[in-house]
Structure 1
Amino acid sequence: MNSKKHHLVFFTGAGISQESGLGTFRGQSGMWENHNIEEIASPEGFAKNPQLVLDFYNARRKELEIAIPNEAHNLIAKLEEKYEVTIITQNIDDLHERAGSSNILHLHGELTKSRSSINENLIYDYKDSLKVGDVAEDGSQLRPHVVWFGEEVTKIKKAIEITQNADLFIIIGSSMIVHPAAALLLAVPFESDTVYIDPNPSVEEGINLLVIKEKATTGLKLLVEEYLPQ
């Protein structure tokens, strides 16, 4: 691989946080297997039974409180010492932040924040547990600051811009089958390389694409030790 890489762009999914004990939403034993998506992750579900939705995300936040960044999160943060590093993540946890990474774009929102139900730009820190009756400054019910099914992923345009400026695009723990995030692969510059770290990758190795069939911590350590310039 070309050793003259400067801007590393990481695209991370649930697989990287799974090693910190956080459950995935999709896949075998994922949370969607045990819940009706429309009931807990859609505007319609929130309108029908807001407390059910709030309880679900309150529980996710409690899980996040006891989770800690794993070696993969820490390695990415440490790479800022040598490279320009940008993270685009599908995850709503704050493990990248807690590991020390400084440039993070959350595509699907942040579990540590809440927002107005009618103004997505009116955002607050998520304190304790949300309940029906907790309102924003505009008087609307507070909701988790996450993107639900049926809602626009407004930050995808920014994610595409970041990807278009990547010298090396590194995918970790994402199925890469969910749009619009899956379209980021098409935004990687032709002259740049892509690395895909996942124990069950959805794409095969090809031109400018290296596939490492390992879990996040193992695969990233291998990438740092064997493929990135020292």
Structure 2
Amino acid sequence: MDPLSELAARLRQARHVLVLTGAGVSAESGIATFRDAQTGLWARYRAEDLATPEGFRRDPALVWRWYQARRAQIAAAAPNPAHHALAALAAQTRLSLVTQNVDDLHQRAGSPAVICLHGAIMRSICSVTRLPISAQWLAAHPGEPPPSPHHAQGLARPGVVWFGENLPQEALDLAEAAARDCDLVLAVGTSALVYPAAGLPELAKRQGACFAEINLEATPLTRRADIVLRQPAGVALPALLAAAWPPEHAA
């Protein structure tokens, strides 16, 4: 049996599917990875300047402008066939969707209850309290960055997890609980280099789940995979959905 047919059969039989998505899925919508986006004006800056609490304390205006540019890029992008296939998959089976991506493309494609391990770039939070800041407040209080409504010394910052920061505990707890419970786990478009996200497929596999990897290139997790599809997510996921639940033919 070819890998796609084997995975489709596993998908049909699965009781609970965990999908972990990474930067490769967003890249198919034209969203550059963090490193790729450091071109032109931004090429002279290090990750430490743009994506750490220390960098924000040193130059909050620089960091705010960088993330505003990233937000504009994401707002101009559209969900691709991989995003839409995962939204459709949620209607066919019990699905836990965990993403390392900070964009909102899964949600815009219609996926419910996305577990965002690394935060959400389109949200703003207080740099001191971490409480959310509304778009209405930001519009009424311009600045680079605007002040926080929650603390006198606070500033608005993007709601993402920076280097050196802990993942949101609730999201991590939900992801690990899904990994312990699922019987099929798919790692899609992730380099499997960033932990603890990269540990979720291994956790699921230790509990007896089948592990499939969908990626254009091999990763550190490839040797642990039971099934491997070397295709773009935007090709593999719609094909997998159609193979598992073939559309009805017109009479």
Q: Does TM, normalized by the shorter one, top 0.5? A: yes
Structure holding more helix per residue? 2
Q: 1:130 to 1:156 in 2, by over 3 A?
A: farther
CA deviations 1:61-99 (Å, max 9, x no partner) are 111111110110001101122111221001110000000
- How many residues get paired? 225
Match in the other structure for 2:219:
202
Structure 1: runs of 5+ lacking an equivalent: none
Match in the other structure for 1:141:
155
Distance 1:53 1:205 in 2: 35
Q: Which amino acid aligns with 1:123?
A: P
SS at match of 2:90: helix
Residue 71 (structure 2) aligned to one of 39, 61, 75: 61
Residue 96 (structure 1) aligned to one of 99, 106, 123: 106
CA shift, 1:36, in A, is 0.5
SS at match of 1:220: helix
Q: 1:105 to 1:125 in 2, by over 3 A?
A: farther
Distance 1:144 1:205 in 2: 33
Distance 1:7 1:107 in 2: 19
CA deviations 1:134-181 (Å, max 9, x no partner) are 223223111110100010113323311121111211111100011121
CA deviations 1:15-72 (Å, max 9, x no partner) are 101111110124xxx2357340000000000000000000010001111111110110
Structure 2: runs of 5+ lacking an equivalent: 1-5, 247-251
Q: Which amino acid aligns with 1:184?
A: L
Q: Which amino acid aligns with 1:100?
A: G
TM-score (norm 2): 0.82
TM-score (norm 1): 0.89
Match in the other structure for 1:20:
29
Distance 2:222 2:51 in 1: 34
Higher mean C-alpha displacement, 43-52 vs 134-143: 134-143
CA shift, 1:204, in A, is 6.5
Matched, 1:156 2:162: no
Q: Is the 8 A contact 2:145 2:157 kept in 1?
A: no
Distance 1:95 1:21 in 2: 12
Match in the other structure for 1:74:
84
Q: Is the 8 A contact 1:192 1:208 kept in 2?
A: no
What does 1:150-189 align with in structure 2 at a 5 Å threshold?
150-154=164-168, 155-189=171-205
Q: 1:183 to 1:198 in 2, by over 3 A?
A: same
Q: Which amino acid aligns with 2:195?
A: H
Matched, 1:132 2:145: yes
CA deviations 1:79-125 (Å, max 9, x no partner) are 122111221001110000000010201111101101011122x1134
Note the aligned Cα RMSD (angstroms): 2.1
Q: 1:125 to 1:215 in 2, by over 3 A?
A: farther
What does 1:29-68 align with in structure 2 at a 5 Å threshold?
30-31=36-37, 34=43, 35-68=45-78
SS at match of 1:25: coil
Q: 1:106 to 1:117 in 2, by over 3 A?
A: same
